């Protein structure tokens, strides 16, 4: 039987009436979304987000930019910002965003119980404004043909005159280095930290350029003998199937500095609920998801970071090979708070 146009339109009307009567609305109007501003520049995170959507039905709209870009965008958008969750990759930036009023406090028993206080923003009773979900160690990579491990087993030694012209490092004012230097201020005091920065600058093999991986490659290429890098960049090379990456790993060694003293500096990647979040419940749900065992495993097994949640079993051959290490215990919020002081020091020392 064929439908006349009038029968067809009647069917459409009936379908519409059914929707109204039962309260059913088309799927698109019902869909829950979460607007995520992310500075995490790692492909392996796709599955992390996909699993959240699978488990909750909440679709993630992602805006990717670096830390500075995200903060500028949040500032510019103000109360009109669609951002619900913000993910950044550095303690100093998280601290900065908190100071600038870009986040809102979150009271969550799950987050309080799972994320150690060392890796959270200050909690004045209404909850923290940011939470660290993974850590990365700032390690030293050296050329074993030119240096012995004992020559580079502490950050302090980067200023040793014996290393003159041998040190490679990305820009001193990159957040990863600002946080490292902020940590050194906590451990050595401002005066010694500045003298150390001066010595470090004098030891540079070249003007800072490129990212952390470029510094590792420069060691393998003989341009310098020791470099400063986040641990995950080295682990990524260790897991690479590319023969050139394998050659870089074969030509270098890693040291976790300050094992005999205050421990290796660790930075965090962390998240927060945006000040003007419209989907607040989904935002908190997402942060709690990032603290779950499965998400914590993604940070380690996918992107070679370390979980902040204790007791999460991971299966990453590179992290296993790098071994366990003693990390510093200074709260990352304190390190972040030192950033402005570090910046002034860098200006005085002339380290770009
Ligand atoms: Fe990075």
In terms of Cα–Cα distance, which of 45, 94, 44 is closest to 71?
94
280 CA to middle of ligand 1, Å?
A: 28
What are the tokens at 287?
């942060």
In terms of Cα–Cα distance, which of 150, 155, 110 is closest to 265?
155
- Structure confidence at residue 125 as a pLDDT band (50, 70, 90): very high
pLDDT tens digit string along 33-53? 999 999 997 888 888 999 999
254 CA to middle of ligand 1, Å?
A: 17
pLDDT tens digit string along 103-117? 999 999 999 999 999
169 CA to middle of ligand 1, Å?
A: 14
pLDDT for 29? 53
Q: Does the pLDDT of residue 6 top 60, yes or no? A: no
pLDDT for 13? 44
What's the mean pLDDT when you consider all of the chain?
92
Instruction: Give the predicted TM-score (pTM) of the model.
Output: 0.89
Whether the CB-CB separation of 147 and 162 falls below 8 Å is answered with no
In terms of Cα–Cα distance, which of 90, 87, 106 is closest to 333?
90
Using the 8-state DSSP alphabet, how is residue 274 labeled? E
Same fold, 30-134+266-316 and 137-265+327-349: yes
**Per-residue pLDDT averaged across 95-102, rounded?**
95
pLDDT for 43? 82
Q: Where in the chain are the domains?
A: 30-134+266-316, 137-265+327-349
231 CA to middle of ligand 1, Å?
A: 10
Q: What is the number of other CB atoms lying within 10 angstroms of the CB of residue 187? A: 17
Question: Domain 137-265+327-349 falls in which CATH fold?
Answer: D-Maltodextrin-Binding Protein; domain 2 (3.40.190)
66 CA to middle of ligand 1, Å?
A: 10
For residue 273, give Cα distances in angstroms to 108, 277, 287, 293.
Answer: 12, 7, 8, 21
To 10 degrees, what angle do helices 231-239 and 212-220 make? 60
Q: Does the pLDDT of residue 12 top 80, yes or no? A: no
211 CA to middle of ligand 1, Å?
A: 8
**Per-residue pLDDT averaged across 21-33, rounded?**
59
pLDDT tens digit string along 157-176? 999 999 999 999 999 999 99
Burial of 63 (0-12, 13-18, 19+ CB in 10 A): middle
42-46, 180-184, 279-283, range with the lowest pLDDT: 42-46
65 CA to middle of ligand 1, Å?
A: 12
Q: Does the pLDDT of residue 17 top 60, yes or no? A: no
Architecture per CATH, 30-134+266-316: 3-Layer(aba) Sandwich (3.40)
Distance, CA of 206 to CA of 274 (rounded, Å) = 40
Q: What percent of the chain has pLDDT over 70?
A: 91
**Per-residue pLDDT averaged across 81-94, rounded?**
96
* Secondary structure, 3-state, 141-152: EECCCCCCHHHH
Residue pointed to by tokens 């002339």: 350
35 CA to middle of ligand 1, Å?
A: 22
20-24, 47-51, 117-121, 239-243, range with the lowest pLDDT: 20-24
43 CA to middle of ligand 1, Å?
A: 12
Distance, CA of 335 to CA of 27 (rounded, Å) = 46
**Per-residue pLDDT averaged across 189-204, rounded?**
98
209 CA to middle of ligand 1, Å?
A: 15
pLDDT for 52? 96
pLDDT for 221? 98
- Structure confidence at residue 205 as a pLDDT band (50, 70, 90): very high
């Amino acid at each position: 039987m064929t439908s006349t146009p009038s029968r067809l339109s009647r069917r459409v009307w009936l379908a519409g009436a059914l929707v109204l009567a039962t309260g059913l609305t088309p799927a698109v109007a019902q869909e829950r979304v979460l607007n995520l501003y992310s500075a995490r520049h790692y492909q392996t995170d796709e599955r992390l987000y996909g699993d959240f959507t699978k488990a909750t039905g909440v679709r993630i709209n992602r805006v990717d930019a670096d830390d500075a870009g995200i903060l500028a965008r949040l500032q510019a958008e103000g109360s009109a910002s669609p951002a619900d969750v913000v993910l950044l990759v550095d303690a100093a930036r998280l601290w900065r965003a908190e100071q600038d009023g870009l986040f809102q406090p979150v009271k969550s028993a799950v987050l309080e119980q799972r994320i150690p206080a060392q890796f959270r923003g200050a909690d004045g009773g209404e909850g923290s404004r940011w939470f660290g979900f993974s850590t990365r160690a700032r390690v030293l990579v050296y050329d074993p043909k030119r240096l012995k491990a004992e020559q580079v087993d502490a950050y302090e030694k980067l200023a040793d005159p014996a290393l003159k012209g041998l040190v490679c490092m990305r820009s001193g004012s990159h957040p990863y280095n600002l946080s490292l230097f902020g940590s050194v201020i906590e451990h050595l005091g401002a005066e010694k930290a500045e003298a150390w920065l001066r010595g470090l600058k004098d030891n540079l093999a070249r003007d800072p350029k490129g990212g952390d991986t470029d510094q590792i490659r420069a060691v393998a290429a003989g341009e310098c003998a020791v470099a400063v890098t986040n641990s995950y960049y080295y682990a990524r090379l260790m897991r690479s199937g590319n023969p050139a990456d394998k050659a870089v790993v074969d030509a270098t060694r890693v040291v976790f500095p300050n094992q005999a003293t205050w421990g290796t500096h660790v930075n965090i990647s962390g998240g927060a609920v945006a000040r003007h979040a419209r989907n607040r419940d989904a935002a908190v749900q997402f942060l709690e998801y990032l603290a779950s065992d499965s998400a914590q495993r993604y940070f380690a097994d996918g992107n070679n970071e370390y979980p902040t949640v204790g007791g999460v079993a991971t299966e990453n051959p590179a992290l296993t090979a790098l071994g366990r290490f003693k990390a510093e215990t200074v709260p990352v919020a304190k390190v972040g708070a030192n950033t402005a002081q570090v910046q002034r020091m860098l200006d005085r020392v002339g380290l770009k």
